């Protein structure tokens, strides 16, 4: 009992001691939680770090009116100063301060700040969450600019959108008649916007695109802007003034700054097309592995390609003009593509395959002029797309197959060798080997609805549902998905070729070379050789035939195999 009381007394004494230490500089206070972190201020090397109690270079929070006035204690100099800090945006703080001196009351000290005292701006370094959308809509724009020696209007400069709408690409042109103008490409990253009276401010980072490797300092990159937008009918214009340094000092009017710009939107609504109905019938398509989403939006004129969780947009395509369309199976068109801050026109081919499978091919380069986009047909890889509403379809190449050179195959040959070499005495069989993804046989379409492919080994089997299949000359393609677990989110493409080969007995046997590719139907994969998995198969009878019987018939009756091959070909 006594010990407990003693403990409480000690705790109280400690608390009093701590309070005493605190009150030696006035009780202490806290800065708002949201200010914690590193801040850039022009003219101050490194960053200013703020935590709940300290502001680096200024001191410890000693007293506050819980609004914008803070009395801070500078321990090094043993003096106090008043800071009046305005949070303009969660990423922008502006403040005025007094000299550091003798302590007085908060209000007395702060009142000594005059209206014309210097105003300092601090900008958040590495803001999280990421910056906000730029306030200039709708890109693209043409613009004129001036750096004090006249308007550079001819040729016009261009401002283009990026897939990330907190970025804007500024393509400055050089005007022969305006001294001091040069062509240059800059990327503007919009960090913060706020309004004071009727004046709108923007703080952004300017990155040099063509001189990306050159080192830019924070002093070079942070810029303040004042802007004003005007909307009239479909015409949108913005007057923008940019600061000459990494502060907002002296910037009050959108037509007066170190650099001024006038943006005018380019109305390209009239030269837009719509993706065909048979494409946008499903608004959302997915890559086979479901890693990427292909989303047709905005009046069926835009295709957004993004990470499956929608967090990050990789590419945006706006339909520009349709060049040709074959029935409801194939369309070739020109689209305006934006990827990061790069943009241009690209050739697009969309093909509807059997089943709900769509294939997309993009031209391999971007062109400024739309009519150049499809003039040199060089394409990137096929992208195979599926929807979430897929139904199993009949598989091609029905039959029972053996995997050539499978583990079972090798074991069989090893045993034969052993028998030959010794006196014909058979050696006890090894325990059955099992290796993941290694199969001995396959049955294609042997289930009741003929829509499955089953790979089997002595100890396991994997079943796929066929979702669509087609042929391109000698090459067969099947989109399939595991029938169990995961299913559609792990769809894959089987590429295959078939051929007949004479065996030593003089008969012909049908071979099937297959490769499984997980991401798309990649035509560069040679069936049986490359891909995520590759198998060479020989036919071992039709689905209907009993295994013993057909293994004999296939081997001994070559004509039967040819007939089977012909039948299979005819069914397609």
Ligand X SMILES: *[C@@H]1O[C@H](CO)[C@@H](O)[C@H](O)[C@H]1NC(C)=O
**Residues found near ligand X in the complex (CB under 6 A):** 51-54, 274, 277, 280-281, 299-300, 402, 405, 441, 502, 506, 508, 513, 528-529, 534-536, 540, 547, 551
Q: How far is the CB of 274 from ligand X (least distance, A)?
A: 6
Those residues whose C-beta lies under 8 Å from the C-beta of residue 243, and which sit 6 or more positions away, are: 223, 224, 225, 249, 250, 251, 257, 258
- End-to-end distance of the chain based on CA atoms, in angstroms? 93
Q: How far is the CB of 408 from ligand X (least distance, A)?
A: 8
Name the closest residue to ligand X (Cβ): 547
Q: 185 has which bridge partners?
A: 171
Which of 171/282 has CB closer to ligand X? 282
Which of 510/513 has CB closer to ligand X? 513
Which of 312/499 has CB closer to ligand X? 499
Q: How far is the CB of 165 from ligand X (least distance, A)?
A: 22
Among 455, 451, 456, residue whose Cα is nearest residue 432: 456
Assign 155 to helix, strand or coil. Answer: strand
Which of 127/531 has CB closer to ligand X? 531
Q: How far is the CB of 430 from ligand X (least distance, A)?
A: 17
Judge contact between 242 and 220, C-beta under 8 A.
no
Q: How far is the CB of 53 from ligand X (least distance, A)?
A: 5
Which of 221/458 has CB closer to ligand X? 458
Judge contact between 225 and 241, C-beta under 8 A.
yes
Q: Using CA atoms, how far apart are residues 194 and 216, in angstroms rounded to an integer?
A: 26
Across 369-405, b (16+ Cβ under 10 Å) vs e yields ebebbbeeeeeeebbbbbbeebebbebbbbbbbbbee
Judge contact between 393 and 468, C-beta under 8 A.
yes
Supply angle C-alpha 546, 551, 553, rounded to 5.
95
Supply angle C-alpha 212, 314, 128, rounded to 5.
70
Q: How far is the CB of 300 from ligand X (least distance, A)?
A: 4
Which of 177/405 has CB closer to ligand X? 405
Which of 246/360 has CB closer to ligand X? 360
Q: How far is the CB of 513 from ligand X (least distance, A)?
A: 6
């Amino acid at each position: 009992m006594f010990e407990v009381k003693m403990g409480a007394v000690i705790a109280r004494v400690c608390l009093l001691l701590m309070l005493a230490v605190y009150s030696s500089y006035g009780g202490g206070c806290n800065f708002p939680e949201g200010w914690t972190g590193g801040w850039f201020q022009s003219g101050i090397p490194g960053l200013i770090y703020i935590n709940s109690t300290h502001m680096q270079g200024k001191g410890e929070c000693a007293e506050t009116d819980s609004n914008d006035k803070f009395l801070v204690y500078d321990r090094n100099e043993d003096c106090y100063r008043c800071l009046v800090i305005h949070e303009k945006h969660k990423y922008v703080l502006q403040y005025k301060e007094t000299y550091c001196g003798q302590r007085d009351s908060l209000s007395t000290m702060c009142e000594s700040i005059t209206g014309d005292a210097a105003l300092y701006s601090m900008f958040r370094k590495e803001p999280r969450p990421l910056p906000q959308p730029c306030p200039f809509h709708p890109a693209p724009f043409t613009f004129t600019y001036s750096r004090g020696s006249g308007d550079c209007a001819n040729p016009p400069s261009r401002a283009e959108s990026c897939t990330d709408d907190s970025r804007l690409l500024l393509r400055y042109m050089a005007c022969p008649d305006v001294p001091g103008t040069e062509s240059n490409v800059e990327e503007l990253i919009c960090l913060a916007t706020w309004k004071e009276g009727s004046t709108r401010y923007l703080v952004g980072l300017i990155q040099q695109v063509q001189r990306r490797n050159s080192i830019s300092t924070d002093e070079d990159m942070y810029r303040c802007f004042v802007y004003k937008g005007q909307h009239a009918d479909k015409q949108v214009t913005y007057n923008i003034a940019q600061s000459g340094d990494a502060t907002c000092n002296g910037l009050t009017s959108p037509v007066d700054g170190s650099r001024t710009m006038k943006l005018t939107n380019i109305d390209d609504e009239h030269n837009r097309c719509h993706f065909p109905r048979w494409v946008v019938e499903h608004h959302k398509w997915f890559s086979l592995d479901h890693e990427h989403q292909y989303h047709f939006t905005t009046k069926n004129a835009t295709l957004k390609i993004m990470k499956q969780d929608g967090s990050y947009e990789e590419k945006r395509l706006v339909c520009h003009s349709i060049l040709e369309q074959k029935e409801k199976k194939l369309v070739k068109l020109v689209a305006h593509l934006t990827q990061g801050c790069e943009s241009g026109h690209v050739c697009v081919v969309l093909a509807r395959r059997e089943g709900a499978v769509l294939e997309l091919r993009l031209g391999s380069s971007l062109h400024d002029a739309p009519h150049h986009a499809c003039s040199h047909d060089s394409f990137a890889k096929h992208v195979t797309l599926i929807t979430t509403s897929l139904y199993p379809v009949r598989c091609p190449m029905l039959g029972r197959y053996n995997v050539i050179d499978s583990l079972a195959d090798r074991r069989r040959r090893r045993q034969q060798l052993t028998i030959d070499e010794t006196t014909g005495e058979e050696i006890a069989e090894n325990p059955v080997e099992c290796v993941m993804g290694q199969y001995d046989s396959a049955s294609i379409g042997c289930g009741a609805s003929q829509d499955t492919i089953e790979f089997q080994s002595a100890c396991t089997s994997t079943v796929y549902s066929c979702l669509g299949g087609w042929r391109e000359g000698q090459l067969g393609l099947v989109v399939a998905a595991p029938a169990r677990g995961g299913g559609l989110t792990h769809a894959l493409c089987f590429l295959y070729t078939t051929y007949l080969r004479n065996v030593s007995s003089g008969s012909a046997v049908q071979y099937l070379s297959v490769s499984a590719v997980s991401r798309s139907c990649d035509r560069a994969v040679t069936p049986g050789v490359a891909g995520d998995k590759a198998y060479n198969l020989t036919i071992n009878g039709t689905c209907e035939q009993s295994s013993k019987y057909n293994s004999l018939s296939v081997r001994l009756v070559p004509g039967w195999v040819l007939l089977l091959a012909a039948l299979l070909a005819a069914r397609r």
